Structure 1
Amino acid sequence: MKKIILILSLFILSGCVDPFLFSYAGGNVIYDMAYWEHVDTKEKAPLKTENDCFDKVTKNNPFSRDKYGQCLYEQGYRFRTSNLLYCFWYMKEECKDYNKFR
């Protein structure tokens, strides 16, 4: 039993096995790590605000993270993550695109 725990621990620490695979809602946990926070009130952006920006950006155009981030940024929201692993492990490209809106 100790050998199994040791081997499993080594796989997790080496990055060969994602620890979120063991949780029921792994994918949702990862996506909940990133959010848009208002500069003054420190509240998360309401879904309506995010949807309005999404609709504005995609109107007759393909989705662009740059334009979407700019829309939220202009309304006073900043990109935040609740876990450092989000940018360094899971969603590198998204963070790369949104870093200028922090």
Structure 2
Amino acid sequence: MIRFIKTFYPDGTKETTFFESCGVADLITTCYGGRNRKVSEAFVKTGKTLDELEKELLNGQKLQGFQTACEVMTMLKTNGHVDRFPLIEAVYLIGRKDIPPQQMMDYLRREPEDL
């Protein structure tokens, strides 16, 4: 998150904001209890598409995580920054079924050390 904001919105970025409830706390809550986690877990276990699982599991709600990953990938591609965000690239490719979820770690090993 910090790298993304520093890359695209560098003016006035305060790193402390990411450690407040609107940053890390919200991210942790979403990862452990949100609809994105629920559908992602079913995606890996069942092999069904995200669209199928969204219809089955969300009672009319829409999945936000993959749509956001698609939008962010567009920004990254347009600005030549895909290599700096391997986690987003992996989520995008897995959601499209271009790579299996088991390859996630291969992408995370490419994580740049800079912020």
Q: Which has more radius of gyration?
A: 1
Considering Cα pairs closer than 8 Å and 6+ residues apart, tell me whether 1 or 2 has the greater RCO.
1
Which one has the bigger strand percentage? Answer: 1
Q: Normalising by the residue count of structure 1, what TM-score does the alignment of the two structures yield? A: 0.26
Which one has the bigger helix percentage? Answer: 2
